[in-house]
Amino acid sequence: MAVYALTGFSLVSLLSFGYLSWDWMKPSLVADVATDPMEKSLPPAFARPPHIIFILTDDQGYHDVGYHGSDIQTPTLDRLAAEGVKLENYYIQPICTPSRSQLITGRYQIHTGLQHSIIRPRQPNCLPLDQVTLPQKLQEAGYSTHMVGKWHLGFYKKECLPTRRGFDTFLGSLTGNVDYYTYDNCDGPGVCGYDLHEGEDVAWDQSGKYSTFLYAQRVSKILASHSPKEPIFIYVAFQAVHTPLQSPKEYIYRYRSMGNVARRKYAAMVTCMDEAVKNITWALKKYGYYDNSVIVFSTDNGGQTFSGGSNWPLRGRKGTYWEGGVRGIGFVHSPLIKHKRRTSWALVHITDWYPTLVSLARGNLSNVPGLDGYNVWPAISEGKESPRTEILHNIDPLYNHAKYGSLEDGFGIWNTAVQASIRVGEWKLLTGDPGYSDWIPPQTLTNFPGSWWNLERLTDGLRKSVWLFNITADPYERYDLSDQRPDVVRTLLMRLVHYNRTAIPVRYPAENPRAHPDFNGGAWGPWASEDEGEEWEDIGEPLKSRNKKKKCKICKLRSFFRKLNTRLMSNRI
């Protein structure tokens, strides 16, 4: 049996604080604010296709919203969620690119070739061009489509840019993380460039403006210049609260009593983002959109605990397949919801937004077969049962294989050294190396660096490669049932085998020195010509170019920087 050791707190003290009670999801007092009087006169049903605002936050931890019992102030999110439908069985992916790709395509990573890691700035890679995206389907349905914020789905060719993938306008960054004021991003020592774009041009004139403010202001301008009589889709992908930890001083001052510096800055960023959402909601009402609008709020992955985030009481963190990495904050706020002010335990995954939103827009899904998402609007609006019964969290054949995994441990049908995870009904299976597995309470009581204090740690099980949990009964993944229920393990392994047969080759090409910002005027941007293509082997590595490249100083440094970037990846994804 696993032995649990508690560092910094006793288990009894955690219970006394209420951390392990079932009250951790009780709404805060702010969430009980009375509904807006405007809502009383709203139409009972859709008179026309609704305006859709999809808000995605970056690295916001599961615990880091007021109605999950957080010490961080999020009055706007609390109220919107309380007046809408909270999604408490909602799943996302453990890192940035996978969640965004699945939102935009409605397909699992294994069906787009993006099942390994993220798309890095110097990789000749992007969301596959043969995929029909969510904004493209909404354009077909007559929507004006706009994106504000972080793209992170590749940009090596112009065809990969947001404005070529279905968005009429775009203001934001193309890479994974930038400075909130200067918009600089370094992809290794000496490989730095500016990354803020307006459409397909570099937005040099916007430097110095805090991105959370800038993006909210852009959404307001879009709404002000558009007619509420015409349907609009705005995808707001906030950079917040991804590192670097930067916030206007007035927000940090509110949390001056927090002892942990990283947590203090992080909390300030979350509250600032919450106010940005408030301004967006206010603009929807001011310009006449609100009555016929659907607001979807989602996080993109679990919080990064050593950067101030908290997923407590869930296990794990960003980049892992434990619940702390893949269970997200999600809610829908809309006057058009039939049964409001409730919590939904319907199983929902980020791929479900594609068919759900296209259906709301009265779009055509018949020409996009093979979607992995489901239309979950009846489950959200009317409280009906979710059509989804399982989720493939991922199968990553390139991730470091677990040392103690084997085909034998997988009943001869699955190599348990391979990193994979699946949820079927109430059961969740993990194989390979799922990632950092501790339970980390919020870091608010000390200024000790990092997140290695105040945690509950699993002290054995390091030789395992298979885990099984009943997530309904054990949402915190404390009781591994793989030894007691080999029948369930085998059943879920068969589902992994089934999905793996449908997977396409991994797209994870080597970095290209031509991507260096110095070759693009100091900014990150497309570097390959439109007629250039890439070929990939089944193992995910690109085939060697037929044209032998000339040697250069940058080329000689390429291998060195790739190795260095690998060491730094946990801080950059």
Give the orientation angle of helix 211-225 with respect to helix 261-286, to 10 degrees.
10
Q: Strand 390-396 vs strand 419-424: parallel, antiparallel, or unpaired?
A: antiparallel
Instruction: Locate 66 and state its tokens.
Output: 């007021």
What is the residue type of 504? I
- Based on DSSP, count helices (H) and strands (E) in the chain, helices before strands: 12, 20
Q: Strand 293-299 vs strand 330-333: parallel, antiparallel, or unpaired?
A: antiparallel
Distance (Å, whole) CA 512 – CA 514: 5
DSSP code, position 320:
S
Distance of CA 367 to the CA centre of its chain: 27
Strand partners, 87: 344
Distance (Å, whole) CA 132 – CA 327: 26
Give the DSSP H or E segment for 56.
strand 51-57
DSSP code, position 171:
E
Contact of 57 with 299, CB cutoff 8 Å:
yes
What is the residue type of 70? S
Question: Strand runs (DSSP E) across 329-373, as ranges?
Answer: 330-333, 342-344, 348-349
Q: Which position has the token pair 């609007």? A: 377
Contact of 400 with 569, CB cutoff 8 Å:
no
Phi-psi region of 270 (alpha: psi -120 to 50; beta: other; left: phi over 0): alpha
Beginning with the edge strand found earlier in the chain, give each strand of the sheet holding 293-299 in spatial order.
201-202, 197-198, 169-173, 144-150, 232-237, 51-57, 293-299, 330-333, 85-87, 342-344
Q: Which position has the token pair 């032998």? A: 548
Known catalytic residues are 96, 152
Distance (Å, whole) CA 409 – CA 462: 15
CA distances from 518 to 138, 179, 482, 524 (A): 37, 18, 52, 9
Distance (Å, whole) CA 375 – CA 381: 11
What is the residue type of 127? L
Contact of 351 with 373, CB cutoff 8 Å:
yes
Say which residues have a Cβ less than 8 Å from residue 522's Cβ, sequence separation at least 6.
Answer: 193, 194
Question: Which of helix, strand or coil describes residue 73?
Answer: coil
Q: Which position has the token pair 């994979």? A: 420
Contact of 277 with 55, CB cutoff 8 Å:
yes
Distance (Å, whole) CA 468 – CA 422: 10
Strand partners, 419: 396
How many residues make up the chain in this entry?
Answer: 573
Distance (Å, whole) CA 531 – CA 446: 55
Distance (Å, whole) CA 494 – CA 156: 37
